[in-house]
Amino acid sequence: MNQMENYFKNYFLTIKKSLDSIDVDKLEKIINLITQVSKSKGKVIIFGNGGSAAIASHLTVDFINAAKIKAMSFNDSSIITCFSNDYGYENWVDKALECYAEDGDLAILISSSGQSKNMINGAKKAKYMGLNVITLSGFLPNNPLRELGDVNLWADSNAYNIVEMTHNIWLLSVVDYIIENVADT
């Protein structure tokens, strides 16, 4: 096997190992929380930075378009920069929740490292507001975000792309399950 073949074989095995580390009971809890929110006419509010923001955006589109679940994410630079300028970058998620979340909504916060202050503060705000919270993180197993959700998914990797791909696939598998098994019930 040449160097390139070996690299990709190991890379894909690493992704498979990360994906397979999921506790399916946690996915079931997430599906139940999302189903509850949908039935009560609430919405799912999804946050992330960088690549995790792209995951949040993709998930939002699939919730709205394919699963027919109300959802929103924040990709409007004017809102993010306004809240960041006025309240500090570490508080923009907190402020967005204050402005947009309502009783019965669900917050999903995604941070590869689990160390992003804006996601940590957002999770605390969501809990304070009485929202259910789902977190996704990676890197260190004892990261602060991982301790703040009602359900916390953790990818056992220190590589951003591995963590982000794992988060994306786990979340989209939830959407697909809802579409195929829950949406019409």
| Consecutive H or E run containing 162 | helix 160-177
- Whole-model pTM: value is 0.96
**Token pair 């955006």: residue:** 57
CA distance 39 to 18: 32
From residue 61, give the alpha-carbon distance in Å to each of 116, 120, 167. Answer: 24, 24, 16
CA distance 74 to 119: 13
Q: What is the pLDDT of residues 100-136, one digit of tens each?
A: 999 999 999 999 999 999 999 999 999 999 999 999 9
Instruction: Name the pLDDT band for 171 (thresholds 50, 70, 90).
Output: very high
What CATH architecture is 3-182? 3-Layer(aba) Sandwich (3.40)
Closest CA to 174 of 17, 71, 37, 28: 28
pLDDT(185) > 90: no
pLDDT(1) > 90: no
CA distance 132 to 122: 12
CB atoms within 10 A of CB 8: 10
Q: What is the pLDDT of residues 2-41, one digit of tens each?
A: 999 999 999 999 999 999 999 999 999 999 999 999 999 9
Structural contact between residues 48 and 110, judged by C-beta atoms closer than 8 angstroms: yes
Q: Which residue ranges make up each domain of the chain?
A: 3-182
CA distance 111 to 49: 7
Closest CA to 15 of 160, 172, 148: 160
First and final CA of the chain: distance in angstroms?
50
Report the Cα 49 to chain-centroid distance in Å: 10
Q: What is the pLDDT of residue 3?
A: 96
Q: What is the pLDDT of residues 78-90, one digit of tens each?
A: 999 999 999 999 9
Q: What is the pLDDT of residues 34-71, one digit of tens each?
A: 999 999 999 999 999 999 999 999 999 999 999 999 99
Burial class (CB in 10 A: 0-12, 13-18, 19+), 150: middle
CA distance 116 to 109: 10
Structural contact between residues 109 and 49, judged by C-beta atoms closer than 8 angstroms: no
